[in-house]
Structure 1
């Protein structure tokens, strides 16, 4: 009984949790779940239909003994008809054997009401065989039929599998047309007529061919069909992943079955709507930014008319911050677009050019390592990403180092500085637009808060990862990892 509060007992809940933990790795994908459903469904279906096989096996085990009994019974009836002058007891004694007992009964035959299917089937075989051998229609009545296994026990459906040569025991009532009011009771036992079945081989054959082989074939065919059907889902998943990196990717082909075409059309419609929404947002922000430049320019001109002093300096500083924010916003929107085409980029030449530009501006920049092969990338976007990371490192650390590590699977570019670092709780927040950490970085070097946002957006467009980690005892490391595969 569940507790009064309606929750299951603790033991049952723990058992359920253990089962869920064990099944989770085996049911994590749609393919594995379909395999479970098909496999369990086949086992349940096979378990239900196995009763039919066992029943047929049982009937087959009874068929050979009753046919052998019918042969002996037909010979007995023919002999009794030919030797009708002999006393009945003498006739029966001469025809009996240890496995074939005859008794003459007086009175009406047993009614044999409501025989089961097995007895009715055995009776049909017996009467057919008697009629064929005697040449006339005879109707014997099977009063009892039973199979005995090798140990003398009643051979149930399961014991029958372990019996090498089961024996059929029968009790039969046969009317005697020449002697009205009398009938012959036959008690006979017969084996399989020398046909033996190896129990172990029979079980192995049944399990392998009926269970294992059939289930494996059905599951294999079904999973191949499911795999073919699920190609749409895999294609949609791959398209969604590519769309997250490049909104300008080629649309899905709208071919195949009707449902596939509808799904592809819906996906392409979503892509077009996203593109239009982004273009509209970009146009809006570009228009606002462009309109803001006019009053900023007018304010800058009016600032020059102010008397020289602290007030004029503060006005200039605020106007420069506003202009920088407008420019950074436009750069951010352009950074999200990535409308350029991928091409083979000489990473070593790109880094060398960035190093020369920063050194020309008076910054200290060291470069270690090199890329072994060109990289498939968006050239201008990749340059902007690395430039933003280097600007942050030089702004807050005074100098920077670039460490390049290349392999067949990925290209790793680490940019290291000796600045104050970033608090651990703000390590992900700094990638948000317009977020600045002024508690750990120099407030006098305040930026727009868009450099890292643009850098991560470009990294994601390349299918790459951009991570920040603090160094010990001070400094920050920005690691850009770009997959080559």
Structure 2
């Protein structure tokens, strides 16, 4: 079950996979760099408490500077200290971590506190910011999470500094908790701002950009796929334009080279078959002459039949090759006119052929080949049923042409599947070479359609040709 779910999540097309890789990759990069956003908001939330704390500490230092002696300074420290502002003297300051190992927010707050104190005192001050972080309304340290679950987070600060201008004074250690001066944050709007503006909108923009960019990048590859599909229907189609990225241009050049080789191969095959046909006619003609010179009439008749069969097989084979090959351009075909013409020819030959239904509009294809396909199907129906009926339907996506007869049909399902094999004849007594349905099926595939045979419930056989419309 899990394997199937994974397979559904991973697109099957190259287009979908590239879009997913780009979107997921850029989204993952956004997640990794989101600490910058957190540091920025953390720094902004700490800014007011830090300024208030630095101003208060500067005022404290100014009072201590004006104290006449150490005892007075001790009294000031004890007098100013409370639960949220603790002051004490220390002999040795704590070592501060290097700036490059601290967070961006802590470095910014450290610079802010030092700058405010120095501006308020008007002289350089040795200030060491040991710690600065947010505390939520439950007085718990949650780091950046305090931005999301507290309307008025406070700042905890730990600073150590040397009193400027006082030689005998020790280091002053200050730990304070400062508020937002009455200002409140909105966690709900902050979450909305973070998730919607930074992630959702950016994710939508990335997906839209990826869809456009990947579609543009894959257009030459789609053209190559369409050309490969069209090559199977028409080997003589125009060469593929060599454009797009280097890899696609290289593939297009190879594709065009393959098309030229196939065209040359088919031309050579046609020349070979033509030569074989020509060379076979001479010995067949000599055999006919010698047959006529035989004294035994019975032997003459038998040899004539064999020679007729041989000549018919040669003609049928050449005819099959020429009927399957596409040597014309693809264009719109008026199927209704073509069927009416075939039916009229059959009527002139003394057969009853009816045509019912119409195609909504012309079908793209190869006129000579399609006419050959329909002619073979109609000839088979007349040969085995005497008469035939043609039914046409069009649903907008495909044209269905059903040619029906009133003959014996093909009761054997195994034989029904084999009638498309070359030289296979379901009823040898009816004549034919066994290539008509083979040619018809090949032409249907050339047009991107299909051909199927089925026995009718009322008797006879139905051959249905489906011609798909180009989307």
TM-score, shorter chain, exceeding 0.5: yes
- CA–CA separation in structure 1 for the residues paired with 2:8 and 2:396: 36
- CA–CA separation in structure 1 for the residues paired with 2:262 and 2:399: 31
Comparing 128-137 and 359-368, the one that deviates more? 359-368
- CA–CA separation in structure 2 for the residues paired with 1:21 and 1:216: 23
Name the counterpart of 1:110: 93
Name the counterpart of 2:52: 68
* 1:314-329 paired onto structure 2 within 5 Å: 314-329=302-317
Name the counterpart of 1:421: 410
Shift of 1:471: 2.3
- CA–CA separation in structure 1 for the residues paired with 2:133 and 2:370: 86
- CA–CA separation in structure 2 for the residues paired with 1:422 and 1:312: 38
Name the counterpart of 2:227: 239
Stretches of structure 1 lacking an aligned partner (at least 5 in a row): 1-13
Q: Does 1:19 align with 2:5?
A: yes
C-alpha contact (below 8 Å) 2:19/2:214 kept by paired residues: no
Q: Does 1:28 align with 2:12?
A: yes
C-alpha contact (below 8 Å) 2:93/2:171 kept by paired residues: no
* Cα distance change, pair 253–185 in 1 and its aligned pair in 2 (3 A): closer
Shift of 1:41: 1.4
C-alpha contact (below 8 Å) 1:146/1:170 kept by paired residues: yes
- CA–CA separation in structure 2 for the residues paired with 1:137 and 1:309: 135
- Secondary structure of the residue aligned to 1:101 is strand
* 1:79-118 paired onto structure 2 within 5 Å: 79-84=63-68, 87-96=72-81, 99-103=84-88, 105=89, 108-112=91-95, 114=97, 117-118=102-103
Name the counterpart of 2:124: 137
Q: Does 1:464 align with 2:468?
A: no
C-alpha contact (below 8 Å) 2:356/2:391 kept by paired residues: yes
Comparing 143-152 and 358-367, the one that deviates more? 358-367
* Cα distance change, pair 345–228 in 1 and its aligned pair in 2 (3 A): closer
Name the counterpart of 2:272: 284
Q: Which deviations, in whole Å up to 9, do the C-alpha atoms of 1:178-219 show, x marking residues without a partner?
A: 251533332321123334321111111111222222233233
- CA–CA separation in structure 2 for the residues paired with 1:375 and 1:224: 33
Stretches of structure 2 lacking an aligned partner (at least 5 in a row): none
Name the counterpart of 1:200: 188
Q: Does 1:482 align with 2:467?
A: yes
Comparing 31-40 and 363-372, the one that deviates more? 363-372
* Cα distance change, pair 346–212 in 1 and its aligned pair in 2 (3 A): closer
Shift of 1:371: 4.1
Shift of 1:320: 1.9
Name the counterpart of 1:3: none
Comparing 207-216 and 127-136, the one that deviates more? 207-216
- CA–CA separation in structure 1 for the residues paired with 2:416 and 2:151: 76
- Secondary structure of the residue aligned to 2:5 is helix
- CA–CA separation in structure 2 for the residues paired with 1:342 and 1:96: 95
Shift of 1:323: 1.4
C-alpha contact (below 8 Å) 2:410/2:416 kept by paired residues: no
- Secondary structure of the residue aligned to 2:65 is helix
Name the counterpart of 1:442: 427
Which runs of structure 1 show a deviation greater than 6 angstroms over 4 or more consecutive aligned residues? Answer: none
Comparing 148-157 and 377-386, the one that deviates more? 377-386
RMSD over aligned Cα atoms: 2.8
* Cα distance change, pair 327–145 in 1 and its aligned pair in 2 (3 A): same
* 1:142-291 paired onto structure 2 within 5 Å: 142-176=129-163, 177-178=165-166, 180-256=168-244, 258-291=246-279
| Normalised TM-score (structure 1) | 0.85
C-alpha contact (below 8 Å) 2:220/2:244 kept by paired residues: no
* 1:300-319 paired onto structure 2 within 5 Å: 300-306=288-294, 310-319=298-307
- Secondary structure of the residue aligned to 1:140 is strand
Alignment length (residue pairs): 463
Pick from 415, 436, 447 the counterpart of residue 451 of structure 1.
436
* Cα distance change, pair 376–219 in 1 and its aligned pair in 2 (3 A): closer
- CA–CA separation in structure 1 for the residues paired with 2:367 and 2:76: 112
Shift of 1:364: 4.0
Shift of 1:257: 5.0
Name the counterpart of 1:11: none
C-alpha contact (below 8 Å) 2:133/2:143 kept by paired residues: no
C-alpha contact (below 8 Å) 2:154/2:179 kept by paired residues: yes
Q: Which deviations, in whole Å up to 9, do the C-alpha atoms of 1:295-338 show, x marking residues without a partner?
A: 22222333334457554443232222211111111111211233
Comparing 366-375 and 123-132, the one that deviates more? 366-375
Shift of 1:239: 1.0
